[in-house]
Amino acid sequence: MNDTHDQADETINPEAVDSGADAPNEAAEQEQAQREEHAARMESIRQLAQAGELEVLPEQAEIVEALLDTINQRDELQEKLLRAVADHQNFQRRASGNEREARTGATQGVVQSLIPLLDTFEMALLQDAQKVSAQQVIDGVKMIRDEFLRMLSGYGVTSIDPKVGDEFNPMEHSAMMQQAAEGIEPGHISQNMGIGYKLGDRVVRPAKVAVVPATEDRQPGETNEEAED
């Protein structure tokens, strides 16, 4: 008798399980249906109020008037919002167009400045190699280089050309190696290995330099007298 009773208790009713699983879904559907019904009822009341067909008691007339005023304010704000969104989209399109135009104009200015250099190269290539000396070739290259630097200076580009013995500046110099040099203090430049360039105050490419290393008894920037003390 006990075994039969236990087996009966362990028997699961599939319909009961399905019903329990569907309960949350049904509750959610009912809640959604109630919200939709409430929204439809509110919209019907607003439409009746706007049409002047909402039947209310005389003492409730002010409530209807307040409702109509609120609806009018909502419509005005919605119209303003739509206009603001449209204006913002138009502004974005104009700004994007202006940015593209400015970028194209800047590129055009650089290209126009480079074209004369290309003309100079073309003239150089037309020279008879058998009649041109090595010195004339070097002078021609220097002329093209000077013209190129002049063009860059028109765009605010300046060179970073440190001298041997100048103090190393990590903001404008890139240390390629450590190299001792007679008479040069540690932390100072012993060799200029490549000119750098700046655009305004921004470093486009730092100058490549060799720097005198610090010794055990002297730190960079420390003079001989200070080390001896």
Residue 225 CA to residue 229 CA, distance in Å, equals 6
Write down the pLDDT at residue 176: 96
Around Cβ 211, how many Cβ atoms within 10 Å? 24
Sheet with 207-211, side-by-side order of all strands: 173-178, 207-211, 189-194
Q: Output the CA torsion sign for 14, 18, 19, 20.
A: positive
CATH number of 158-222: 2.30.22.10
Write down the pLDDT at residue 225: 46
Angle at 41 between CA 39 and CA 45, to 5 degrees: 115
Residue 162 CA to residue 197 CA, distance in Å, equals 11
| pTM across the whole model | 0.53
Per-residue pLDDT tens, the chain, 229 aa: give them: 455 445 545 555 555 555 555 677 888 888 888 888 888 887 887 788 777 777 777 777 788 788 888 888 988 999 999 999 999 999 999 999 999 999 898 889 888 888 988 898 898 888 888 888 889 889 989 988 998 999 899 889 999 999 999 999 999 999 999 999 999 999 999 999 999 999 999 999 999 999 999 875 444 444 444 444 4
